[in-house]
Amino acid sequence: MKGITRRKFILAGMWGATAVIMNGKAAHGKADFEGYPEGMGVLVDLTRCVGCRTCEAACNNEQNLPVPDRPFYDQSVFDEVHHDGKQKRRTDENAYTVVNRYDAEGSEEAVYRKIQCNHCNEPACLTSCFVSAYTKTKEGAVIYNPKACVGCRNCMIACPFRIPAYTYSKALNPVIKKCIFCYDTRLVNGQPPACIEACPMEVLTFGHRDDLIKIAHERIRMHPDVYIDHLYGEREVGGTAWMYLSGVPFEQVGIDTTLQKDPILSNASEFLSNVPVVLAVWPALFMGFHLLATGDNRESGEENHEPERKEE
Amino acid sequence: MRELSGKGLLIIDSLHEPDTKKPWSFKEKLLLGLAPREYLSQIMRNPLNWAMCIILALGVPLIVYRFVFGLGTVTHSSNDYPWGLFLGFGLFTMVPLSASGFLLGTTVELFGRRDFKPIERLALLNGLLGYLFAVIYLLVDLGQPWRLHYPMFVTWGTAAVLFLVGWHVAVYLTVQMMEVSEAFFEWANWPLAKLFIKRITIGLTVAGIILSTLHQGALGALFSYAPSKVHPLWYSAPYLWIFFFCSSIFAGLGMVIVVSTVVKKTMAWRCDDNFLENLDRLTIGLAKGASMAMVTYIALKLIGIAHDNEWAYLATGWGLWFMLEMAVGVIIPLILFSVSIRRNLAGLARFAAFMTVFGIVLNRLNTAIIAFNWNLYQEIPHIFEIIIAVTLFTIYIITYRFILYRLPVLYSWKPAPFREYSTAVEKSHFPGKEPAQAGVFRRTAK
Amino acid sequence: MPCSRSTIFITIIFAIMSLMTILPERATGERGRIPTEIEIGSLAGLFGEVYFDHEMHLDLADTCSECHHHTLGSYVIDEDCARCHRESEPTEEVSCGGCHTADPFSAEYLKTKMEDPNLYHNDKPGLKAAYHLNCVACHREMGAPTGCQDCHERTAAGDSYYRADAMASGVGGTGKEH
């Protein structure tokens, strides 16, 4: 109910009256936006992950990414930390998904967590992009068009999950690199992404997002002793296609639990809703001030308020 | 230049050489009436030029290097810190410091405060150059700068705040060019073009206010996309854009005071008496405007903290840093401004203005880089990134100086040598006409 | 035991028959009618077949239902299953692959998944996950090996998939700082 209407509103802000026409066009079909009904999603059940990194290998193969430093069965990468231990591995131009290991309290076994694009219902990257390089497809994927990208990297600022990576090393054609849900090679054909097919433990359950929400809550209901009673991504930042179940508190596996429930775009809406006001009110207001302030000079002609500089 | 003018050299401030009544040639105007050799030696004598030369010698190759080998080789911009100094300083700081154009335009043209006229052109030029270089910084930072026109003509991302910023900065840059072109047309002796600009001044000024209100605010709104990354003390979803807009007012006014101070100290020869004599009074006037905006800003900041109930953060290290920023950048300058206004101390106001400008730089860098990713890790800009940023700023100073030396910004263009005649004509037929109209009358008079 | 010995016997015979005919996996040797060793190879690819010592696991498990759930009609330990299946008859299908599809995310399967009248079966893992979830969980519990290659050898295809050549070449940079 927020997405399209909000976007329309902003459109209106930009273009004032002309936007009414554009709104008419945009309104077709999707009045209430809560993700697409046929949108697919993935349920990530952290209690199942054993840290085999097969998903990383699958992604690397599927997306033709460069050969990494270490083979994917090498678990020593879990010891990797950056920036004085403040950051574990993250997605980059050569890896659209990574698995990290966490030593969570109250869990004897290490907990592993896969990171990739969560494919938000109302993506911050998409709504922050000023050239519409991103698209949320009806299948649920958030895809990217490198041909439109100017390279402002606002999407990277906006993404609450810090997913998009940039090919800073490229001089001529730097682009954003991120998980695209294997959209073009698999999702459009009704196939699950490569990582999901590869996962031996079915940590990743692929399905219609609506169904996955039911399944997730059922898992929590059936095993309240195993799961934290929260489906991360069901409502965070307006809902994501990829959602997480965990056996340990989410913040202990590097998941930001402080995120708002509203889409990121809603933070800018306060400002954007003021745009049409300024456009509509300012001209008259300031012309009014102008007439008030200079009114008594007007009899002597339009340009009379030119100062007499030499005398001043 | 000071030495030269002391030796009795003429300073071009009109279309014609006073003795021979010959119009100055374009070359003469360009070289400030000096012979090429004199001009060069004048440049060589200035130690500042040598310093800038060294900076350029270092920085220009680095800029070339950046375009040949990519951003990754000269910046610490990363996947966590997508925006570094080029935007943090170049865009987010240069733009508020350039709010002067619309502020003085509004004061003089719309509110009819003619007494600010002597400094209006300087403020307009400051605005134009600030925006121009903000765009240049942006071009250096963009991954694919050759696609800068995409959001304009190729593919529209209408829902994005940045779309609004892009369009507004582009349009406003055009508006400012037209506003400043008035001075250029006087200098180049295109009176008709100047007349046209004068006719649309009010329209341009109103457009300037609208565009400035929106995009100064929009720069703040850009960070409202990053609630989990910008430290809560610098973040406020509903108010961030008002913070940015409000602070741009004292940023712009402070910058005009700073520039006028520098100009008065370094190129007094170029300023006319009207400018020099009025400067102290104008400085105090600008200080009044800035302090009003500062009071508002402090109030808004308090509202912002109260709205999100962020008082507890003030007791943390980040809180101290925040309060330091507020103290050095806003509260102390505000006190100094107040004292300077009450006691009429232009010098103190100038000092406060320098602090204000520093405070704005600090605030924007805090929002974009320092307090960004506060809960992740701190990033320090690459040395090459700093050199390039300084180089671009040096080019900004050179351009600024180049224009100030020539165009009638700090001085008014004298209608000599037909002064008596043309002013007489003006007075009888066109009361209040700009002196440069003289060019028109000269031709008709022949 | 709630069922009589004869019931179990018949069930097992039936089960083994179906296992032999339907399953792609091949059971070799018999102890009674129960296979002693099963070669699980239908999913082989990146890893080779698993030679599953059914007999040994039979001895280790408390009850068949630890792996076969309610399909053998034996005592059901999983309380979630027991709600409906405490008294269930043995099913026609007892092999893993009989219920756990090898292709759990195909469009056709997903279409019907939530329409399953057997409410609690809509979150049934696919075959690969059924093996791994069951095996790994128990192996962990029992202190048995859990490494990938402890059960199945990585094939040449697997080596290239996991970029075993990475060490030699040393290019690329997963997990680089930026």
Which domains does chain A possess?
Answer: 37-257 (3.30.70.20)
Q: Please give, rounded to a whole number of angstroms, the shortest distance from the CA of C153 to a CA of chain A.
A: 13
Domain boundaries, chain B: 46-414, 415-446
The ipTM estimated for the assembled molecules is 0.85
All chains having 3 or more CB pairs closer than 8 angstroms to chain A: B, C
In terms of CA atoms, which chain C residue is nearest residue B77? Answer: C178
Alpha helices in B160-235 (DSSP H): 161-188, 191-199, 201-223
Answer whether residue C135 is part of any domain.
no
Q: Please give, rounded to a whole number of angstroms, the shortest distance from the CA of A113 to a CA of chain B.
A: 18
Q: Please give, rounded to a whole number of angstroms, the shortest distance from the CA of B81 to a CA of chain C.
A: 9
Give the whole-number percent of chain B exceeding pLDDT 90: 58
pLDDT greater than 60 at residue A260: yes
- CB proximity list for B414: less than 8 A, separation 6 or greater: B13, B14, B435
Contacts of A74 in chain C (CB under 8 A): 166
pLDDT greater than 50 at residue A214: yes
Total count of domains within chain C? 1
Q: In this structure, are residues C45 and C35 in contact, taking their beta carbons and an 8 Å threshold?
A: no
Distances (CA, A) of B266 to A17, B261, C43: 50, 9, 81
In terms of CA atoms, which chain A residue is nearest residue C130? Answer: A201
Given 1.20.1630.10, 1.10.10.10, 3.40.1350.10, 3.20.20.140, which CATH number is that of B46-414? 1.20.1630.10
Answer whether B206 sits within 8 Å of A267, measured CB to CB.
Answer: no
Residue B79 touches partner C, C-beta closer than 8 Å: yes
Residue B73 touches partner C, C-beta closer than 8 Å: no
In terms of CA atoms, which chain A residue is nearest residue B372? Answer: A157
Residue A89 touches partner C, C-beta closer than 8 Å: yes
In terms of CA atoms, which chain B residue is nearest residue C178? Answer: B78
Residue A222 touches partner C, C-beta closer than 8 Å: yes
- CB proximity list for A206: less than 8 A, separation 6 or greater: A40, A41, A42, A192, A193, A196, C105, C110
How far is A244 from A255, CA to CA, in rounded Å?
A: 10
Residue A2 touches partner C, C-beta closer than 8 Å: no
Answer whether residue C109 is part of any domain.
no
Contacts of A57 in chain C (CB under 8 A): 161-163
Of B166, B218, B227, the CB nearest to A267: B227
| Domain region containing C32 | 5-97+147-166
SS3 A205: strand
Q: In this structure, are residues B133 and B396 in contact, taking their beta carbons and an 8 Å threshold?
A: yes
Q: Please give, rounded to a whole number of angstroms, the shortest distance from the CA of A221 to a CA of chain B.
A: 31
Q: In this structure, are residues C175 and A77 in contact, taking their beta carbons and an 8 Å threshold?
A: yes
Dump pLDDT digits (tens) for B121-141: 999 999 999 999 999 999 999
The DSSP code for B331 is: I
Dump pLDDT digits (tens) for A31-89: 345 557 779 999 999 999 999 999 999 999 999 999 998 999 998 999 988 888 888 99
Answer whether A95 sits within 8 Å of C174, measured CB to CB.
Answer: yes
In terms of CA atoms, which chain A residue is nearest residue C173? Answer: A68
Residue B377 touches partner C, C-beta closer than 8 Å: no
Of A92, A275, A312, the CB nearest to B274: A312
Distances (CA, A) of A189 to A182, A184, A186, C128: 10, 8, 5, 22
The CA-CA-CA angle for residues B322, B369, A232, to 5°, reads 95
B333: number of CA atoms within 13 Å, CB side? 35
Of A124, A157, A301, the CB nearest to B82: A157
- Name the nearest CA neighbour of B338 among B296, B280, B289, B303: B289
Contacts of A279 in chain B (CB under 8 A): 210, 214
Residue B378 touches partner C, C-beta closer than 8 Å: no
- CB proximity list for A18: less than 8 A, separation 6 or greater: none
Structure-token match 């692959």, residue found: C97
The total of other beta-carbon atoms located within 10 Å of residue C89's CB is 12
User: In tens digits, what is the pLDDT along chain B, a chain of 446 residues?
Assistant: 555 555 555 667 777 776 677 777 778 888 887 888 888 888 888 889 999 999 999 999 999 999 999 898 898 888 999 999 999 999 999 999 999 999 999 999 888 888 998 999 999 999 999 999 999 999 999 999 999 889 888 888 888 899 998 898 899 999 999 999 988 998 888 888 888 988 888 889 999 999 999 999 999 999 999 999 999 999 998 899 999 999 999 999 999 999 999 999 988 888 888 899 999 999 999 999 999 999 999 999 999 999 888 899 999 999 999 999 999 999 999 999 999 999 999 999 999 999 999 999 999 999 999 999 998 888 889 999 999 999 999 999 999 999 999 888 898 887 644 444 444 444 444 444 444 433 333 333 33
Q: Please give, rounded to a whole number of angstroms, the shortest distance from the CA of B59 to a CA of chain C.
A: 25
Q: Please give, rounded to a whole number of angstroms, the shortest distance from the CA of A46 to a CA of chain B.
A: 23
How far is C46 from C48, CA to CA, in rounded Å?
A: 7
